[in-house]
Structure 1
């Protein structure tokens, strides 16, 4: 007789819950410990500077969090000396006198140090000071005025029909828009003349114009406005009034019509308009980075084609208005313009440094900007360039970070390198098995290398750039006080993914009272957005969200599966038009393999939590992967990519909007959901339209599915805040540990 797999799994869970009942996980004590984790771990790692600051080519300072209190250290790289930046006791006394209140020398919070004319200039959080280096007298010189910055909304559309006149570099003329057309006049003059005559209300000129360096030519572009799309929500409980407020935001979604821009060239002295053919930049997602050549011979701009499969650098000849693509990048899947694009125009040269994944990894190329031909590939190998840190034009050298160059290291660990424009003299500046953060001296003669891993305490050393040799040991972090709390170091775990070859990396977090004789359900913390990779690589004492959840009686894991970034192009392309994949085939294998190694990890009781794109994945775990996942908490999820922001979703799901969108939708497939689901959403979320969560809930109700819905009044894009965290913990304890959570009154009482 065939047994329904779901019924069999339920019977196994029941029997296991009876067997595990004596282990008493999810108790009041577990909750109280989880609540105390942040305080318990805080300030328990010493000799771990967060920043280093160069004063000149040879000297730098840093603030060290020593066990005895805050230290300000001055280092001279040339003489290899390290000493107190100043007399801490004297400084505290002089600050106390200047501020007329007691300043503790071990708790001074000072920054922005610089030395000018025998004066040490610095500040705290509200005042600026100077100290005479001879008399040591400290004086307050100014207050720090901090303007309250209003929250900048990511989706705000630039107004192309508003703007000030644009003054020419020589100051003789200003260009402005009148009646949708381009006009020129002398500043403070009534006399004006019209340059364009083809602008109108539906296809008007933008005031975002650009003069040539010699003030003889002008680039302006016409705009045909696209569709306006707003999302609306009700703020139920505003602080300043009793009645609710209706709010709205600009919010383009996949498939919406976008603005079309048409660059035009004007020879100002001749009052001549040279139209520019649009065939190279039709179907626009956007035009960016308009700039004139230094010699006034042309202007360039970048074109991102709708669908993100073509990206061009286009040059417009200033004599005749002819347009040509000098860089023409294409991909059968997508071009990661938001995460990997890099362009550097070499001053005084007809050269462009450009990043491309055309050979399967993100690498740098040197282009001839006149011919559009590749002069040479600069970097190469089965590893990606992660970021260009600096370009030394004079010495024709590039400083950059890369990862995946060492077979015996985690392929996500950042390393620093340098290379010449012609691809020669490739130099590894870091090689230690860690995630590196480098700070160069202004002249690049020295650099500070601070490195760590999640399972390796931080270390900072000073090195010489030419030899990469260590000049001085600076600080080595002490974690003894942290370990004394019972803290367990996260473990890095790797295994082959779905293809049996590609390594998948993640971390395992255990509770402080970990007992290998117990059985622990597994909870995965997921974020699978294709724009990056997300498993931490540097040492942290906390991982608060993961550690606090683990304290309740769980093993918590985080994994980067296929479809995320910072590996090969093929690894990344798994996400293409298939966000529901979210690396789940790799994640399930990873957890199963970890459970084989560690039998206390129960791969039959697996939960998952995530926010935003992670919320979509958490919901998708029970919609598309309920053969493995049992419990999910999805916060502010984009449960249907047609409902979310245009730029992020068309980047990975493609354009035009086709059946692939419905195929990845939790809403469309809500009837497939199995397991226990909690949805959390902020009622005024303007990052992911909250209607996405509500539509998922509606589809689940219509499909007869049981679930929990938590709506947070007044909250924006959030994992849930304090209330959501409580609900999430209780949900996992109830459905994975199969015990009733203690009351909140007991947990949170003083």
Structure 2
């Protein structure tokens, strides 16, 4: 027995992995693994959407040769094609300028429009629509509203001088008049004009919201923020030889954001009111949710800069008075991205609110007039993830949660129904698995798709009232996939740094795994505090449930590695204390928990070899963590491949980084910066970056390069011309970047030569 990194490793009965060089065929098989396996299941249904006000649901399902799109009637079980896939493939190929096949259409999810004459979906992260009668396909337009950089700074380069905002009943028109608003009736008669708008404090026409009675409107009066622009060079444009320059509005941490003051304009009394600046100090995000049904007031969300105070405000139309329907404060951060607000009966009397005030994410019934808690609706050591429906008539809530069942993976999501007063909790999804539930519009039925990484998708139809199963709609057949060598990932659990919390992860072995050999270990990391990331559902051939993570890890494992992924402390969907580890501490990335997890696995499994250091790879925030592993824990992590990393949080987008590191920008940003600490790197690093990354400023990667050069460090760099944030990971020249990543790990961690791809 030998002691390594504090773990006892059995070595007497093991042999080293063979040093036989890998061939081009080996690499090609790994890179093409997803492509080769994607057609080897049948009846794997995912996802589902109900047709408008009908008892029919649309879905995608694996069929011979790829995927079919269908519509099924809940009561009769009758199935019909959702659309003509061959015709749509031809039309979409022509519109998008790339070849597509009928059984491999490039979208998982789709929805019919309101009258079922078209389908809507996402293509390369952009919204598209195809009209089914004509098979005309095009990108969808959502109007000409002035863009906002990450929602907090308006792009004033975009003029709205010709904009006309019309009320729902067509009786009011609002136009810009310089920096003011002009309100007219349908005949062009002026009804009202603001007079105090100026360049540095203007009225925003894109914030207009009309009252239900049509006699008032709300808007924002704006003090503009700082318009920071990121400039990128398109080195290799497809339509010309010479490079191009593009600019992007890109607010970063610490930048001045727009200061929005909600305004009510009453056309009957010719009065207007504005929320005073001292009522919303340090406003970071102001959003008008709309009007109460009686037209007497508006609802406004106020989030203070620093993410430690949030309020849902009511502003009265008669006098401009403001009071907080709900107030939330935190010593660390309020995770507003997963918040839930529901105004019961749209009357401002009762509010359903999601809060972590007791240490877990729960639902509360709030007195909207006083802001006091009337009832904690859910309670316990579990996390309310989402609310699907508030049934006001029966005073019931349908919600999803994880962690309620103590005898299973705490990340498994289940659905429930509960009364407003916290009584009569009903479990709607009994199986020990991860569930995704889709309710019909009238809530009479729901579809439950459940699976685990070791249980292929099973789809059931339920009657909602008594949670009664009606029939099994589909059960995936993976026999062909198993014949092709697919193997289920292995779940592994170890204790976190606190000695109490369980850290859950996956272990993926090579298809030709030999327990009598040892294998170097590589970790796939994404440690962003905005979610948890280890896949919990079966691989359904797409990004949505983490399937591509699993197949990517398997592809790498097949080259002679153990590949793992786990969620450390600082990630979401556990207790508030578990999550708070990330506060002003993004450089932590859960590494103390991850290292303990690796040591526990090495102690249990003789084939789990961490003696030469652990490899690591990740993209975006995972790229930042990859560099962080090498500079903050060089004694443990030896080799890293970092894609599109936000290596210094001061260089990245405001909306993500201020959520976790706070405001103003302080030393916590410096402490978490891989760029600032690049000189500490002792391992092997490969940086991959897309030249046109619009999510993370690609200059962040080049600043790391600069720091490494100054420190005299050796490293590898791949810049993908025209590449976006996903370059090398999910779109763009995937095969090339992935092959380079795989070769880097083989060369550095196994000390094996890789094929010379320059020789045919």
1:626 to 634, 639, 661: 634
Preserved CA contact (<8 Å) 2:262 2:288: no
Cα distance in 1 for residues equivalent to 2:743 and 2:416: 47
Residue number in structure 2 paired with 1:723: 736
Distance 1:228 1:454 in 2: 45
Q: How does 1:583-598 map to 2 (within 5 A)?
A: 583-598=590-605
Residue 660 of structure 1 corresponds to: 668
Q: Name which of 22, 32, 35 aligns with 2:31.
A: 35
Query: What is the alpha-carbon distance in structure 1 between the residues aligned to residue 578 and residue 179 of structure 2?
Result: 48
Task: Identify the range of structure 1 (153-162 vs 294-303) with the bigger mean alpha-carbon deviation.
Answer: 153-162
Match of 1:449 in 2: 448
Aligned residue for 1:585, secondary structure, equals helix
SS of equivalent residue, structure 2 residue 212: coil
Q: Please give the residue correspondences for 1:247-646 in structure 2 after superposition, counting only pairs within 5 Å.
A: 247-347=246-346, 350-540=349-539, 543-604=550-611, 605-646=613-654
Tell me how far 1:36 sits from its aligned partner: 3.6
Q: 1:457 Cα deviation (Å)?
A: 1.9
On the 8 A contact 2:524/2:617 being kept in 1, the answer is: yes
Q: Distance in 2 between matches of 1:504 and 1:548?
A: 24
- Note the residue ranges of structure 2 that are not aligned, 5 or more in a row: 6-10, 89-101, 122-130, 541-546, 729-733
Aligned length: 702
Q: Is the 8 A contact 1:176 1:182 kept in 2?
A: yes
Separation in structure 2 between the aligned mates of residue 421 and residue 124 of structure 1, nearest angstrom: 37
Label 1:507 to 1:292 Cα distance change in 2 as closer, same or farther (>3 A): same
Separation of aligned partners in 2, 1:111 and 1:577: 36
Q: Deviations over 1:435-461 (max 9, x none)?
A: 112233443333332211001122222
Whether the 8 Å CA contact 1:346–1:352 is kept in 2: the answer is no
Query: Where does residue 131 of structure 1 map in the other structure?
Result: none
Deviation at 1:510, TM superposition (A): 1.2
Indicate how the Cα distance of structure 1 residues 685 and 141 shifts in structure 2: closer, same or farther if over 3 A, else same: closer
Q: TM (normalized to structure 2)?
A: 0.85
Q: 1:154 to 1:742 in 2, by over 3 A?
A: farther
**Residue 194 of structure 2: aligned partner:** 196
User: Secondary structure of the residue that 1:580 maps to in structure 2?
Assistant: helix
Contact in 2 for aligned 1:351/1:366 (Cα 8 Å) = yes
Whether 1:236 aligns to 2:235 is yes
TM-score by length of 1: 0.86
Q: Counterpart in 1 of 2:757?
A: 744
Mean CA deviation greater in 621-630 or 439-448: 439-448
User: For the Cα contact (< 8 Å) 2:111–2:120, is it kept in 1?
Assistant: no
Q: Deviations over 1:633-677 (max 9, x none)?
A: 111111110000001000011000001100111111111111001
Kept after mapping to 1: 8 A contact 2:17/2:517: no
Cα deviations across residues 12-67 of structure 1 (Å, max 9, x unaligned)?
xxx99x97364536444532331341233222222222245657776667665466
In 2: Cα distance, 1:174 partner to 1:476 partner = 54
C-alpha change, 1:702 and 1:121, in structure 2 (3 Å) is: closer
CA distance in 2, matches of 1:626, 1:726: 25
Aligned equivalents of 2:166, 2:283: Cα separation in 1: 29
**What's the counterpart of residue 8 of structure 2?**
none
Q: Contact conserved, 1:525 with 1:610, CA < 8 A, in 2?
A: yes
Question: Which residue number in structure 2 is paired with residue 145 of structure 1?
Answer: 136
* Structure 1 unaligned residues grouped into runs of 5+: 10-14, 96-105, 127-139
Change (3 A) 1:57 1:627: same
SS of corresponding position for 2:743: helix
Change in Cα spacing, 1:390 to 1:32, as seen in structure 2 (3 Å) is same
| Contact preservation (8 Å) 2:27, 2:739 | no
- Is 313-322 or 169-178 further displaced after alignment? 169-178
Moved more, 716-725 or 519-528: 716-725
| 1-structure distance, mates of 2:41, 2:445 | 27
Higher radius of gyration, 1 or 2:
1
Q: Secondary structure at the match of 2:740?
A: helix
- Does the residue aligned with 2:457 lie in a helix, a strand or coil? strand
Write out aligned runs for 1:72-87 (5 A).
82=77
Per-residue displacement from partner, 1:573-606 (whole Å, max 9, x unpaired)? Answer: 1100110000111111111111222211111231
Moved more, 463-472 or 480-489: 463-472
Question: Per-residue CA shift, 1:214-269, capped at 9, x if unaligned?
Answer: 23333233111111101112111111111111111110000001111122333323
Match of residue 679 from structure 2:
671
Tell me the alpha carbon deviations over residues 62-83 of structure 1, each in whole angstroms, 9 at most, x when there is no partner: 66546699899887766xx656
Q: What CA RMSD, in Å, does the superposition of the two structures yield over aligned residues?
A: 3.6
Contact persistence 2:325–2:351 (CA under 8 A): no
Deviations 1:423-476 (A, max 9, x none): 222111012110112233443333332211001122222333333343323332
CA gap of 1:290–1:623, structure 2 versus 1, over 3 A, is same
Distance change (3 Å), C-alpha of 1:486 and 1:661: same
Following superposition, the deviation at residue 277 of structure 1 comes to 2.1
Judge which range, 144-153 or 286-295, deviates more: 144-153
Distance across 1 between alignment mates of 2:607 and 2:527: 26
Contact conserved, 2:45 with 2:457, CA < 8 A, in 1?
A: no
Q: Is the 8 A contact 1:611 1:634 kept in 2?
A: yes
Q: Measure the CA separation in 2 of the matches of 1:305 and 1:394.
A: 34
Question: In the TM superposition, what whole-angstrom CA distance separates every residue of 1:59-110 from its partner, at most 9, and x where no partner exists?
Answer: 66766546699899887766xx656659x9xx99xx9xxxxxxxxxx98999
Q: Is residue 24 of structure 1 aligned with residue 37 of structure 2?
A: no
Query: CA separation in 2, counterparts of 1:74 and 1:425?
Result: 34
